[in-house]
Structure 1
Amino acid sequence: MLDLAREIIGSQPILTAFLAIGLGYLVGQISIGGFSLGVGAVLFVGLAIGALAPKAQITGPIGLTGLIMFLYGIGILYGRQFFEGMVGVGQKYNLLALVACLSSLLVALGLGHIFGIKIGHTLGIYAGSVTSTATLQAALDVMKNKDPSIGYSIAYPFGVIGPILCIYFMTRMVKPKFPVKAQRFQMGEISIGKSHAGKRLDELMAGALSEVQVTMVRKGGHNFVPAADIVLSAGDAILVVAEQTEAIAKAAAALGKLESGRLASDRADLDYIRVFVGKASVVGVPLASLPMPSGFPTRLLHVRRYDADLVPAPDLMLEFGDRIGVLTPPDRKDEIRRHFGDTVKAAAEFSYVSLGIGMVMGVLLGLVPIPIPGIGVVTLGVGGGPLIVALILGKLRRTGPMLWTMPLPANIVLRNFGLAMFLATVGVNAGQPFVRTVAESGLTMFFIGVAVLLTTVFIVLVVGHYVLKIPYDDLVGVASGATGNPAILVYSTKMAPTERPDIGYAMIFPSMTLVKVIAAQIVGLLMAGSSAG
């Protein structure tokens, strides 16, 4: 029976790939002390399958296609935050992560040389310690054998759990304090006092109302969409929204007083409707330029994106699946629904045209040779090229009619499935040599991986906190980005429950991925040249 299973697995690569993915996700859900491997378990199940069935090989572009899907999804999602991180404090954060990543590479090379570890295994250990699949692929390309996969597989587990343990102990030592997470959408009704009677709305918006947005005006017993030339009288009321309650309280103190119920309870002139964003024509456009139905008054009141309510700022862009609140005459609701699409299915839809074009541009960029004097020619490869193109497109969001972004649920599916395909391929193909190498020098390689990982995390956390005085929630985001695995970011957000770890991760992960990819190729070329010499 076992021989039959081996024969089937060895002759059916597609079956083998999905077997590794399915069983891998099952194993990845097992939690021990709150720690689980998640999608990383696909790699180890693949190794087990490869060791069990020596003939099992997943050939063709399956694994590379998965890697491109994963990196493209990362770039599209984090493009805007990445480029924002290239200025201001982001430069300091990236410099810190750069020193950490290059220092850990030197540690890997030094220890590998001392203990006689092959350079392919060493590069794999480095890639596994910082859980970088793109670096693994770069090492595979430059070494032209399976050695990096073996080193990666040995170092990967501690590459995930190590940063989590370090962040845990660092948090216990530092005991950081964070403000209570406040809702980012606040609303209030302000009754206008006598001191501001006779003033136009645009005058007040340039002064007392500068920190809030006016979404509706009540005058003469009727509700209106705000217009700049409306002249307010004593007793009139305005509905305002802001991210902070303090801004609303400040505006109310300056203009009159907070008095709820007058505008919201009267829906004779303007009613409130919530619709899903489901049309490409309204996605990726700043709200200040957003086309609205003509012929009747409308006003966007608020935006609900996944679990967060957002103030409709002029530069905010709608995404597929957003649920928006719109003020409109009661008899115009159907026109609003048609204008925005109003379908929840949009949360899982995106343009395959833009996806295909973006990936083609990324692969082509990855093929461009980059000559380095005295070393040789490197390329961004299938790891760096698609990532750079996706970051640029994620920043642009839209080019004319071409929408580059995708809804978060679709992005998560694309990334996770792509990563699972890549890890399954690497694991199955490296199964047999992995067993031999572990038996020979597995313990030594594991401890080298531990040293590499601790070097990365120690530099980021200790230098970042005690020398550079980086805010702690930013710091754990930088550490997560430098070490790479999304599970580390999830844990960081538990230790620092603000939005800053996500922003720090977005600033660091793409740039450090590119650094690791190029560094791995340079080291591989240098070692190959010295061996030839």
Structure 2
Amino acid sequence: MDAVRMLLESQPLLTLFVTVALGYVVGEISVKGVALGSGAVLFVGLAIGGFAPKSAPPALLGTLGLLLFLYGIGIQYGDQFFKGLTSADGLKANIAAALGVIASGLLAIAFVPLFGVKLDESLGLFAGSGTSTASLQAAMAAMKSDGATVGYSVAYPFGVAGPILFLYVLSALLKPHIERPPPKLIETAEIALRNPEFIGSRLADVKTRMPAGIAIAAVRREHHNRPPTDDLVLQADDVLLATATDPAALQRAISLFGELQPGRMTSHREDLDYGRVFASSKLVVGRMLRDIRFPEGVVCTIAHVRRGDADLMPNQDLILEFGDRVGLLANRAHMKPLRAFFGDSIKGTAELSFISIGVGAALGLLAGAIPLPIPGVGKLALGLAALLLVALVLGRVRRVGPFVWTMPLSANLVLRNFGLTIFLAQVGIASGPKFFATIGVAGLSFLLYGVAIALALLIVTAIFCLWVFRLPFDMTVGILSGATGNPAILAFANRVAPTDAPDVGYAMIFPSMTVVKILFVQIAAVLASG
């Protein structure tokens, strides 16, 4: 064993990746549907750090990992986050979650005078109960100690399992009636124009009177399919190729325009053919559909956009991202230049600009280094919380000149999960010796403190969501997932409420609550030291 210890202590990078590998093996172990996931890397790191005390990699490596995680979160959820701040439900959701986070934080602080818990350990309990690695880093930096890691590691398991159990009990008590929505797939209908109200009208004027969620992909006249240009004047018996993700919307369109006549258009491709391309060119990525200018002489209609596992309607405000699969209707002779125009490379699913990442991260770090005056607290630098805020703004803006801030979802997930893993491994290894020195003395009491903090967060948030603001149950479980933070909780919430609302609630809440948790830790540390 001494030889193994010497090897680990002499090769810190080897130790780091052994921790990562073993951590994910442990993280996949499921007990009644609950698994620690990437959080298990921290516990393996603590064990290895306790066994080989001098094996920790440099702290800067862990900070870099957390930076990648927070930057990826901001870039992905920027749009949903700002929409949430401007909507009535989004404001209610953020207020409810903030009250829950603050209540749990105040309870954690109360343990210091009540039970003699050290402040850094109490802040670690707060971070672990909310599974917030960013708060853990903030506590370690503010307190200039690794005591927060002890509290974090004890509270973290219940921070994952507790909310899942809470959601299960809440669902069993309330018994909400939630229907699983049908998958969002593009459906089509060929509609012969019979309604005299639209005969002789320009297609641009007709579009303003169509049912919501309907798009016209092509028009057939005199046995020829043609693109749906805005200046096209509709005639009797024109056949409209309507598309929608909602079958009910298609039925309304059929009733409005005329009658269904399937097979008139899709079987004739001599004028317009269908092709699917990957969006991987900077000529289209980061641009709204209305701003895309096709090559000279090329006439094309965007029929739909598939992003991840969902079909998106080709609204003019839709912004293309790297890796989007775009369905096109165009003449076969134009397909080759269109593929070159869009890029059509599968590499787009993993494409990201390291220039944009470098500039964006540098702006975030610069903003985090600026001390800001806070009444009653003094000057406080936001640190990595500012980086998250900058990333949220960039994720909302998506593109500025040559800088495309967005990333494909697959690349984003890889980047931020790798960063989070590196952070947890480095922090675990570095904190192992102190963890084992403390846990033997205060292990059970710390666990009970962590349970109390997590329950305070869940109960306060749930009360305000369900009974004060009367938000829907499916959105509430997403808000609870975002307030507690772990993706495993969101995955369980999606099983409890199989709609889109949990994902929307999570996206509106998770970034802002991450910032709230970081600021709470920093302010508590400043006030305590003052």
Query: Tell me, what secondary structure is at the counterpart of 2:127?
Result: helix
Q: Distance in 1 between matches of 2:288 and 2:195?
A: 36
Q: Distance in 2 between matches of 1:57 and 1:210?
A: 57
Q: Distance in 2 between matches of 1:460 and 1:297?
A: 52
| Contact 2:89-2:471 at 8 Å conserved across structures | no
| 1:508 alignment counterpart | 509
Q: Tell me the CA shift for residue 296 of structure 1.
A: 2.9
Quote the RMSD (CA, aligned, Å): 1.4
| 2:254 alignment counterpart | 252
Q: Distance in 1 between matches of 2:23 and 2:34?
A: 15
Distance change (3 Å), C-alpha of 1:142 and 1:232: closer
Aligned runs of 1:350-361 on 2, under 5 Å?
350-361=352-363
Q: Tell me the CA shift for residue 393 of structure 1.
A: 0.2
Distance change (3 Å), C-alpha of 1:240 and 1:500: same
2:55 aligned with 1:52, yes or no? no
2:226 aligned with 1:224, yes or no? yes
Aligned runs of 1:215-364 on 2, under 5 Å?
215-364=217-366
Letter aligned with residue 510 of structure 2: F
Q: Distance in 2 between matches of 1:208 and 1:167?
A: 41
Q: Distance in 2 between matches of 1:211 and 1:496?
A: 24
Offset from partner CA, 1:135-192 (integer Å, 9 cap, x none) = 1111111111111111111111101110010001111111222233224323211011
Q: Distance in 1 between matches of 2:183 and 2:292?
A: 25
Aligned runs of 1:62-81 on 2, under 5 Å?
62-81=61-80
Distance change (3 Å), C-alpha of 1:206 and 1:372: closer
Distance change (3 Å), C-alpha of 1:435 and 1:252: same
What TM-score do the two structures reach when normalised by structure 2?
A: 0.97
Q: Distance in 1 between matches of 2:401 and 2:501?
A: 32
| Contact 1:188-1:258 at 8 Å conserved across structures | yes
Q: Tell me the CA shift for residue 246 of structure 1.
A: 2.0
Offset from partner CA, 1:306-330 (integer Å, 9 cap, x none) = 2111111111111111111101111
Query: Tell me, what secondary structure is at the counterpart of 2:233?
Result: coil
Query: Tell me, what secondary structure is at the counterpart of 1:446?
Result: helix
Letter aligned with residue 25 of structure 1: Y
What TM-score do the two structures reach when normalised by structure 1?
A: 0.96
Q: Distance in 1 between matches of 2:377 and 2:492?
A: 40
| Contact 1:42-1:424 at 8 Å conserved across structures | yes
Query: Tell me, what secondary structure is at the counterpart of 1:71?
Result: helix
Percent identity among equivalent residues? 46
Greater shift, 417-426 or 274-283, is seen at 274-283
| 1:128 alignment counterpart | 128
Q: Distance in 2 between matches of 1:198 and 1:353?
A: 52
Q: Tell me the CA shift for residue 373 of structure 1.
A: 4.3
| 1:179 alignment counterpart | 179
| Contact 2:213-2:245 at 8 Å conserved across structures | no
2:107 aligned with 1:116, yes or no? no
2:160 aligned with 1:165, yes or no? no
Q: Distance in 2 between matches of 1:446 and 1:207?
A: 60
Q: Distance in 1 between matches of 2:360 and 2:232?
A: 47
Query: Tell me, what secondary structure is at the counterpart of 1:274?
Result: strand
Query: Tell me, what secondary structure is at the counterpart of 2:241?
Result: strand
Letter aligned with residue 353 of structure 2: S
Letter aligned with residue 316 of structure 1: L
| 1:440 alignment counterpart | 441
Q: Distance in 1 between matches of 2:99 and 2:108?
A: 14
Q: Tell me the CA shift for residue 235 of structure 1.
A: 2.2
Letter aligned with residue 363 of structure 1: L
Offset from partner CA, 1:377-422 (integer Å, 9 cap, x none) = 32111x2021011000000000012100000011001111000010
Q: Distance in 1 between matches of 2:70 and 2:407?
A: 14
| 2:60 alignment counterpart | 61
Q: Distance in 2 between matches of 1:3 and 1:398?
A: 54
Q: Tell me the CA shift for residue 128 of structure 1.
A: 0.5
Distance change (3 Å), C-alpha of 1:465 and 1:209: closer
Distance change (3 Å), C-alpha of 1:107 and 1:192: same
Aligned residues: 527
Q: Tell me the CA shift for residue 230 of structure 1.
A: 2.5
Query: Tell me, what secondary structure is at the counterpart of 2:283?
Result: helix
Stretches of structure 2 that go unaligned for 5 or more consecutive residues are none
Q: Distance in 1 between matches of 2:183 and 2:487?
A: 25
